[in-house]
Structure 1
């Protein structure tokens, strides 16, 4: 059976569960907004504290909507249309889920190493869950993979990944990224613009200080 036509118009929501927004996250959020906008989707950053001043790269970003309200309030009448991307879910996300769900929810910072169960706060609220495989992804990678599955109808096991790639940070030094990425056309991991520079700049502090 042939795949259905690509489905645009989905909403991808990151429930921002932190009082601050690190440079690492702002680059990822900007990249999510850019990719969602170009694919006809919407990126919603919810639960943003009113005291949080967005960095320049997110102010006025196309494809991005910022909400102080939480997901429960925003989509109170559409709970059955919300899919929580949950590493602890019993079922993998499939292209067919694009027929059943319109809103795809990600809990805070996915790219923790070691991973903390940040999604548990959302899991308790009763949203239907789907997983993206066993290996930890950065937030923008998780949104990218979800968009590829539900909008482009690519099965999760047909996406080409790079796991724990080594990044050259200086002439004689590399650092291993503890995440799964989508493999780009150049053979390297797809990362937000500016992320490589940030990794190199902070490499002497250790990756833990980036998260």
Structure 2
């Protein structure tokens, strides 16, 4: 049976695999940094090109470290302590993995719909893999769930989720999100600050383009 004692802060790494940084990714990264800092953990964004211009919100984010190196170089001497969160892994993440691993690695961008298996690029590097259940998550949700499991010792199947929530765009329009989210205390999906407004703006723009 898993211990209920919280595990000391871990390192959560997103290997940025996109040539650009979209606004929604920046919001997710800012949320990960803020929550990691509050939980005594570190958020590392790796493989960031030197010429990359990060949004100001990320440049000053507490809990965030930017690395131009990739994970293979950064953790070359402790590869066995790195866990890759992999939708294709045969085993779900468990609280005991908080004892087995110090670093939890995510391939960005995780929140593709449909999924493009971006994690395959990291899978080839030979890291031990764990999955977070059968439903696709956004990157910030994947990190949030992982932190809850390995630091707070909550089994992955006991976390309160909401799948494919519907967001009200306007009085007559709504959009269904194709991901799994963690529920907050009111039952609403936890999303990064500013994400709902961004989704609404994008949806309104798409509707305008059709007119």
Same fold (TM over 0.5): yes
Map 1:155-170; keep pairs closer than 5 Å.
Answer: 155-170=155-170
Structure 2 CA distance for partners of 1:188 and 1:116, relative to 1, 3 Å: same
2:183 and 2:205 map into 1 onto residues whose CA distance is: 27
Q: Show the counterpart of 2:84.
A: 84
Q: 1:122 maps to what in 2?
A: 122
Unaligned runs of 5+ in 2: none
8 Å CA contact retained: 1:19, 1:52: no
The DSSP-based 3-state class of the residue aligned with 1:57 is helix
User: For the structure 1 residues 23 and 3, does the alpha-carbon distance in structure 2 shift closer, same or farther, using more than 3 Å as the test?
Assistant: same
Closer/same/farther in 2, CA of residues 51 and 2 from structure 1, 3 Å limit = closer
Q: Give the aligned length.
A: 207
Against the structure 1 CA distance between its residues 31 and 103, is the aligned structure 2 distance closer, same or farther, given a 3 Å change threshold? same
TM-score, structure 1 normalization: 0.96
What's the RMSD between the two structures over aligned residues? 1.2
Take 1:186 and 1:172, find their aligned partners in 2: how far apart are those partners? 24
Spell out the pairing of 1:187-202 with structure 2 (5 A cutoff). 187-202=187-202
Deviations 1:102-121 (A, max 9, x none): 00000011100000010001
Structure 1 residue runs of 5 or longer lacking an equivalent are none
The 5 Å alignment of 1:1-211 reads 1=1, 3-205=3-205
Instruction: Show CA shifts across 1:123-178 (max 9, x none).
Output: 00000000001110000000000000000000011001000000001111110000
1: CA distance, partners of 2:85 / 2:97? 12
Runs of 4+ in 1 over 6 A off after TM superposition: none
Aligned partners of 1:13 and 1:105 also within 8 Å? yes
